[in-house]
Amino acid sequence: MLDRATFGVLGLGGAGLGNLFAAITDAEATDAIEAAWQGGVRYFDTAPHYGLGLSERRLGAVLTGKPRSEFVVSTKVGRVLVPDVNPRQFKDDDGFDVPADFRRVWDPSPKGVRRSLEDSLTRLGLDSVDVLYLHDPDVYDLESGIQQALPELEKIRAEGLVGSIGVGSNSAEALLACVQRADLDLIMLAGRFTLLEQPALAELLPACVERRVGVVNASVFNSGLMARPTVPDEVPYNYAQAPANIIERARRLAAACTELGVELPTAALQFGLLHPAVVGVVAGAASAEQVRENLGRMQTPLPDDFWSDLHDRGLIPDPTGWVS
């Protein structure tokens, strides 16, 4: 199983590089990637979905100048980008501030999987990626993803075109089905094992330990909800406005963390590494400053008994027996 030595404790997620929620310049994206590299980050994740290919292009423009043996890069298949010659809107309507000159088409077929990989390599300017995930099959058709795409990923791995394969999703249930029915190396779990909520703890993470499937833990800030020491009224959660009950829970966590001398984002980042199934945490960033802040938070020492104190306050499950 791939381990933390492969991924490091913190990787750079590429959604922000694709203008998630707000546009950034090419220079700002480059600065963020370079700051990650200078800070020791060697795992970089991206996807065609992120900015309709913009994230892959920006990431590849920097990584092509780095020694190939020194970094791990992953991208995703499932959504094929098709040129839209008559776009129905000027901007992408899926959360990314980019022109809608392409549209996403779900294609889990063997041909679609290979086309997606080839297109990604072209955008990245690389000869290969190290990890290839099936992206959000539950958003479209989980069963076709399991029956068509995952066997093709296994073939691509057997041919030596990628080193490791997996599935990325926001759904613990969907990921559990994939882990049980395919020979995966990894999953990318987004937002389902965080300081805020842990639905993956009951079945998915134990199944990953049993089957030796590594977990790359993403969206540990729950799309931004946990990214600040205090929680504002207007804040995203699962890529939409957070409901009142979720904001209230986040604020109780923030208050407890403050009382214990820890800022909420620091706790959120480090919580993501607690389970032994987790091989690394991926955090997105749209600026060099955000990258450096995340790196600093991941390295900040926590008080003794911090996690047990949060448990005693009824804010997290009992970590006894699963803290790595």
Pairwise CA distance, residues 157 & 134, whole Å: 13
Q: Is residue 190 part of a domain?
A: yes
pLDDT digits (tens, 9 = 90+) for 66-105: 999 999 999 999 999 999 877 667 889 899 999 999 999 9
pLDDT greater than 90 at residue 109 = yes
Q: Is residue 83 part of a domain?
A: no
Catalytic residue among 50, 133, 237, 239: 50
pLDDT digits (tens, 9 = 90+) for 132-163: 999 999 999 999 999 999 999 999 999 999 99
Residues ≥6 apart with Cβ < 8 Å to 104: 48, 49, 52, 79, 80, 81, 82, 94
- Active-site residue flag, 140: no
| Contact status, residue 29 vs residue 105, Cβ threshold 8 Å | no
Per the structure, the complete domain to which residue 116 belongs is given by 4-77+109-312
User: How many Cβ atoms are within 10 Å of 268's Cβ, its own excluded?
Assistant: 26
What is the domain count for the chain? 1
Q: What percent of the chain has pLDDT above 90?
A: 89
Q: Is residue 140 part of a domain?
A: yes
Three-state secondary structure call for residue 36: helix
CATH number for 300: 3.20.20.100
| Contact status, residue 192 vs residue 198, Cβ threshold 8 Å | yes
Q: Is residue 150 part of a domain?
A: yes
Q: Is residue 19 part of a domain?
A: yes
Pairwise CA distance, residues 273 & 279, whole Å: 8
Supply angle C-alpha 270, 192, 272, rounded to 5. 10
Q: Is residue 84 part of a domain?
A: no
pLDDT digits (tens, 9 = 90+) for 264-301: 999 999 999 999 999 999 999 999 999 999 999 999 99
Q: Is 82 exposed, middle or buried (0-12, 13-18, 19+ CB in 10 A)?
A: exposed
Q: Is residue 91 part of a domain?
A: no
| Contact status, residue 72 vs residue 131, Cβ threshold 8 Å | yes
Q: Is residue 299 part of a domain?
A: yes
| Contact status, residue 52 vs residue 81, Cβ threshold 8 Å | yes
